[in-house]
Structure 1
């Protein structure tokens, strides 16, 4: 494949501690607010449903669509960073995201909410997240500083996802669910101000080709897949047709990419990225981690609100356990990375998370106290905090600087597809009958998926990735 040469940053010194903090602040906050947007809606299900006269399924569709738009556009977003520059795409994405948040704050109905939240915030996220990971990789050049930087970014991302229900619940109970979107817009404004200190280490390449056909095919393939999952509960035949269409369109996309490579043109996604076994396994673990996080979050939040009749704040408080667990393990991520291989950390994370899911099922049954959820959520938070950073570092470090835009878009697309599938799968099971039987079934499915993640992590090569 003929890929334009990209300047290298080899030999560029790692930033000083003070400079590193200034660089990481906007990047970590950007990951935080996008992860927050994906999870804080879970505690607003009842409030939004009453205010906009919609159902739990309507809110689920909005949440899943937001995650799906991110997943579908993340690969094109990663490619655009090379063409237009990482800093420019970051700021542009933040602006689109902020406009979407403000539109949601004044939404008169579900349609406008979907436009602002699912579409605009989804597009904004797809534009701004790839630059976060590319800039982190390019600006932190040695293994130790890069691991520390990814640890901070992933900690903020995990914190946003885990603390989203609590923060969203507090804002919703004190003010309204609309104020949560105003909060997002204010954070975005802060990030834009802080991002002035971030410099793009590589110049943009405006002449670089952009594979529009590949972007359309990849987006529609992913959309059909997730829509098929969502349709499973209502119409089995429609679900089968959509799932088949998704598989066929994605197969067409990969064939399209191979043809472009053979003729010397640059595809949206180089198929050579999938020749790296370690990266492939890391991508699968990323997908399953976010599937577990968002799936569990939606199931527990919906169960507490619909079955237990909990309000937003009480639901959010229950999720504090997951937030504390994730923070505790994230704070020790760098120390753990120096002592243990990344493969070991990912395996341990899945094992602990699966134990947490197993505890959630029997402890929630027949008990009047929502505190029965705390031990399980705490373990899930601990497990996710241990494995999020190693999985990202495994994937990003598997390629050189000239592939960072491409692999970053793929990595984030895979992760966000996991979030979307997690919400779709768990939500589809739960929405049919939110009582304990459906709740238990959804949690069992997530537990089995977690075991699949543990098996995948066990296949990662030994002897690689220890930091320090």
Structure 2
């Protein structure tokens, strides 16, 4: 593929990651507007946000597997169409139920279909470590900016027009992505005969949904929470048992166990999960606190979050240069140190000052830290597997990241909405800082030397003859 064509494809992939990340955070500044317009509560909006992130996490692995059977481009375009329908339905939602159907379900399903091809195509098109770091840097930069700038853009649109217009904006961006993708080619032929483990897909999705819903139930009924968590754990155990049984019978399960036998990749997945947990958890907590407790409107809250966006832009766009000079382990550990420090600053400054500008230093540190480590974490995981396994690892990687986003919003949000006070805010943020420390420990165990991709195996299907 020529350079100009590669740039168009990269622009489409990066914009796709941007809009999906934007969808996960822009509603944080619409909490008051949506709850009043749809006659719901802060907790109702939290459920809509969390379910969107959860649907992405639960279906990302099946989405990655479907790329083998139907092709990466076809899944990418199908995901864009489903996402656009969900966005337009959300814009016209008369109540919370329709909003959850459009935003949480349809946009979540669309994202699960379109995001795995983003990382598979980037991995296949950019084979060198440096060029791949550059591509991932652009994609993750726009993804991080989408998540961090979501409150600002969402606040501007909400204040100028309506929260509904923010969903129309998403549909318009999808139209641009479809236009840029019109000449996209698939580097590998699809395999129509590739098997798909429907039973495994159902078990994994149900198990993850039960676990996250258990966390959301914590502030209502402790026994319901424990019951849902236990049931979710049992379903996930059943899922892994089905994987083992299917492999023993010579079948092709949804996710092979050897995907978890690479120590470097496992550590990278842990860091990915906690990065997004910190970003989405701190975003929801700070935005909700500023609006509900401090009384700031959508645009004021969004402007404050510009600090996180700026931090992400600065470090994400420097990903290629940093990858040449510093090890991936150093970048990821440095990112966690900055991120945890930012959360601590957010706690201290909220107690010391009444002005919303006191949130700026902490948000800037979080943005800088996450921008430093997002790209190397993805590169560590994707580069640990050969070409033929990119569908599986891409789905697993994105599922783990989105599960982190779900956990961040569910855990921190549940603690916060239980009290909506300074104490609840500090408790939610402290939990995120503790999780960040766990991510830091995992990052220190990564290898010192950069991860290099193994020798690529040939495609499993016979290349088509030229015409």
TM-score by length of 1: 0.96
Q: Distance in 2 between matches of 1:97 and 1:289?
A: 25
Aligned to 1:266: 252
Q: 5 Å matches for 1:190-205?
A: 190-205=176-191
Specify the SS of the correspondent of 1:138: helix
Given that residues 350 and 450 in structure 1 are in contact (C-alpha distance below 8 angstroms), is that contact kept between their aligned partners in structure 2? yes
Q: Give the structure 2 partner of residue 422 of structure 1.
A: 408
Alpha-carbon separation, structure 2, partners of 1:241 and 1:289? 28
In structure 1, C-alpha distance between the alignment counterparts of 2:283 and 2:77, rounded to whole Å: 29
Determine the structure 2 residue equivalent to 1:118. 104
Question: So what's the TM-score if we normalise by structure 2?
Answer: 0.96
Compute the displacement of 1:366 (Å). Answer: 4.8
- Between 1:138-147 and 1:16-25, the stretch displaced more is 16-25
Residues 1:440 and 2:426 are matched in the alignment: yes
Match of 2:334 among 343, 348, 361: 348
Structure 2 residue aligned with 1:299:
285
Aligned to 1:228: 214
User: Which structure 2 residues correspond to residues 169-208 of structure 1 after superposition, within 5 A?
Assistant: 169-208=155-194
Give the alignment's Cα RMSD to 1 decimal.
Answer: 1.0
Kept in 2, the 8 Å contact 1:232–1:239? The answer is: yes
How far apart are residue 466 of structure 1 and its match?
8.7
Which of these residues, 239, 242, 246, is aligned with residue 232 of structure 2? 246
Matched position secondary structure for 2:181 = helix
1:306-365 residue CA offsets vs partner (Å, 9 max, x unmatched): 001110000000000000000011121111110110011000000000110110101111
Unpaired runs of 5+ residues, structure 2, are 454-467
Q: Deviations over 1:395-441 (max 9, x none)?
A: 00000011000000000000000000000000100001111000000
Structure 1: any 5+ residue segments left out of the alignment?
1-14
1:156 matched to 2:156? no
Aligned pairs for 1:42-441 (under 5 A) are: 42-441=28-427
Q: How many residues align?
A: 453
Q: What corresponds to 1:11 in structure 2? A: none
Please tell me whether the aligned partners of residues 308 and 367 of structure 2 are also in contact (alpha carbons under 8 angstroms): yes
Deviation at 1:19, TM superposition (A): 3.0
* SS of residue paired to 1:197: coil
Output the CA distance in 2 between the equivalents of 1:449 and 1:317: 27
Q: Which runs of 4+ in 1 moved over 3 A?
A: none
**Contact 2:133–2:319 (CA<8 Å) still a contact in 1?**
no
Which position in structure 2 is the counterpart of 1:12?
Answer: none
In structure 2, the partner of 1:4 is none
d(CA) in 2 for partners of 1:193, 1:453:
39
1:37 maps to 23
- Matched residues in 1 for 2:305 and 2:179: separation? 31
- Any idea what the Cα deviations from partners look like across 1:220-277, whole Å, max 9, x if unmatched? 1100110111111111111001111111111111110111111111000001100000
Q: 1:28 aligns with which of 14, 37, 44?
A: 14
Looking at structure 2, the residues matched to 26 and 461 of structure 1 have their Cα atoms a distance apart, in angstroms, of 33
Q: Which moved more, 1:401-410 or 1:359-368?
A: 359-368
